[in-house]
């Protein structure tokens, strides 16, 4: 485990903590649920502090939305994938068979448990120094503070309203697949500026969001910097 530890910013003095952090409840005890509880609090504190320093003039509401974006299940699961934790997890036979090492909830819990394990193996400052780089790519990719937490359709609508332009028109182009696994394709048409984009998703709403996001990207590419 030494190379695995060092590659992620911390070399464990107590390797049993690492083993526990990566053991799911389905694999027996000691599992990672208690570590997950502690790690959740540490992650929220580390991220809150980093945002507080990064955005010195941003209000509480925007900071709260940004923190929620960074510590949500899907974001933590992506960190787990970046750290290649899935292959290191110890799972029970049922979870292994059902692909638990790919499931967002299990991966996110493992990240929180791993944070707690690093903390218990070292101290607060060492843990923070090891963990914060895991969040840096997502933190750097955050939109401007006033846009955090707003979905693409909302942001597109606000941009158009701010420019006193007509609102977008969404239209369903295609609906394919079996009942339990449908794929939707939707267009987003803007009168001003004149452009049409498309998006796909597992629901019509998700497809509309994808089309709106594509429209925002096109608008941004046309906007002089």
Whole-structure pTM value: 0.68
Q: What pLDDT does 141 receive?
A: 85
Instruction: Judge whether 176 is annotated as a binding position.
Output: no
Q: Residue 90 gets which letter from DSSP?
A: B
| Residue 112 annotated in active site | yes
User: Both tokens of residue 85?
Assistant: 């934790």
| Residue 40 annotated in active site | yes
| Contact present, 31 and 106 (Cβ < 8 Å) | no
Instruction: Judge whether 112 is annotated as a binding position.
Output: yes
Q: What pLDDT does 158 receive?
A: 85
When computed from its CA atoms, the radius of gyration of the chain, rounded to whole angstroms, is: 21
Q: What pLDDT does 6 receive?
A: 44
Distance CA 1, CA 23 (A): 14
Q: What pLDDT does 3 receive?
A: 42
Q: Give the domain ranges of the chain.
A: 2-144, 152-222
Q: What pLDDT does 1 receive?
A: 43
Cα torsion 204, 206, 208, 211 to 10°: value is -130
Look at domain 2-144 and name its CATH class: mainly alpha
CA 13 to chain centre: 30
Residue from 5, 16, 33, 40 carrying the catalytic annotation: 40
Distance CA 42, CA 62 (A): 20
pLDDT tens digits, one per residue of 90-103: 999 998 888 888 88
Residue from 112, 121, 208, 213 carrying the catalytic annotation: 112
| Contact present, 211 and 170 (Cβ < 8 Å) | yes
The mean predicted confidence, pLDDT, of the chain is 89
Where the chain has pLDDT below 70, the residues are 1-8, 149, 179-180, 223-225
**Distances from the Cα of 113 to the Cαs of 61, 101, 148, in angstroms?**
28, 15, 27
Distance CA 87, CA 2 (A): 16
Tell me what percent of the residues of the chain surpass a pLDDT of 90.
60
User: Both tokens of residue 36?
Assistant: 């997950």
At the second CATH level, the architecture of 152-222 is 2-Layer Sandwich (3.30)
Count Cα neighbours of 191 within 13 Å in the Cβ-side half-sphere: 10
């Amino acid at each position: 485990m030494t190379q695995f530890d060092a590659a992620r910013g911390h070399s464990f003095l107590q390797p049993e903590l690492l083993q526990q952090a990566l053991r799911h409840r389905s694999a027996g005890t000691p599992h990672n649920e208690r570590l997950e509880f502690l790690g959740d609090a540490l992650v929220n504190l580390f991220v809150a502090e980093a945002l507080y320093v990064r955005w010195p003039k941003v209000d509480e509401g925007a900071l709260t939305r940004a923190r929620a974006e960074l510590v949500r299940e899907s974001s933590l699961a992506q960190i787990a994938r970046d750290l290649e934790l899935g292959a290191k997890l110890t799972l029970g036979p049922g979870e292994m068979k059902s692909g638990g090492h790919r499931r967002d909830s299990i991966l996110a819990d493992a990240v929180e448990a791993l944070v707690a394990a690093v903390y218990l193996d070292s101290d607060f400052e060492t843990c923070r120094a090891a963990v914060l780089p895991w969040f840096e790519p997502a933190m750097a990719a955050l939109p401007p503070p006033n846009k955090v937490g707003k979905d693409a359709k909302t942001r597109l609508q606000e941009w158009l309203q701010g420019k006193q332009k007509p609102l977008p028109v969404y239209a369903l182009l295609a609906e394919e697949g079996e009942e339990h696994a449908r794929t939707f394709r939707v267009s987003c048409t803007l009168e001003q500026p004149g452009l049409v984009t498309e998006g796909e998703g597992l629901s019509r709403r998700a497809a509309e969001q994808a089309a709106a996001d594509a429209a925002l990207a096109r608008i941004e590419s046309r906007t002089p910097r």
